[in-house]
Chains A and B, each alone.
Chain A
């Protein structure tokens, strides 16, 4: 009976329950986590499609005046126009081309620092581990957004020089608007990445600590395997499922943090289409009731973060099954 319950939940009582039961008759029940994961994946596929097809889908140029200012949503302008007469719909679509790569790059960057440091810290143990854990825990306990604010605020103007010189080193000339946008993007990505390194560190370290004592690791060691081999071939594969989960959740966090930074005025310079920046601008026109300027970019953020969170949470249940209540 217990098993039965875990596999197929009893339908809720009442009329709604009967409707659900009718709808689900004959349907094989996989457990809520699969549905959550699939829903998240569908949302993300849809977002991916939007991101790739934005230039074809967007009816107007997102950075150029497309019509009268403050036009409410209607057939011509699906989501209305903003204070400069730009089409909000086109800006929302194009925004994903800015926000998603930024979030991905920061999450990847955090992963590439957090993963090796976590592996080494957990594996080496002793003093190294204690010092690294102390540093990471301190950063982890601190409100990440504040740290990111401080970093972006400091890096802001100076990162231009860094970009320019490194691009020149590669033989590329970067200047003008591209330089401004690129340097702002770099500061944001670096700041978010640094803030999220401890998330990966803690997860990886915890996994290593629990796997390190397993029999097969001990067996490998007694056969004379080198530390590097043990770490890479016996311990690392155990961490991969958790990395997938944390990465997915982390991208959601990164999107929210990026939006927060942009909303505070630390985002990409205008006229780049960015949801957070658009919300910041729309806020000024809220008292006049221009609801479309803030509603749609925000909905898009919710949609994207929801996709990543659902995918992450669902995968977590599937990949790291615990005896949790379903």
Chain B
């Protein structure tokens, strides 16, 4: 019986990371660096709860929430772009990538407004440990949003042409994975800075 079942099981497909496997060396290292930064935030929150509470009171939760929704919309667009390429609708995929890039630009703009508001309140990296971490970590994340948007911009023309190159499909999926990483990092940063008290 067991032998019969074993015989009927199809040979296992080789498991493979999405996109170009080597890109995961990049993505995982980035995630480790951010994990260290998250640990730093949590550790300092534990040691300076009143400083964090005071800093958090100056942050605009609606702006943080808008940016969260914007990045999630970007990720949904990227998922739709992947679906479109799988259906050989490369023009559609290219349009979805454009939508994701617009989300990236909106995120940067909202972040600029938010930085302006907290600067207006006199907060800066030297004010206290909360603002040091806020500007340094969200600034690092902002650079990643820039890079993610630029990477989508680089792969978009190739996508529109049908991902014809030998490595184009892997690079396309890798670019989308990077975008998801940027989104995921914000989904941790948002509660750490704006919600957890």
A interacts with B? no
Contacts from B to A (Cβ < 8 Å): none
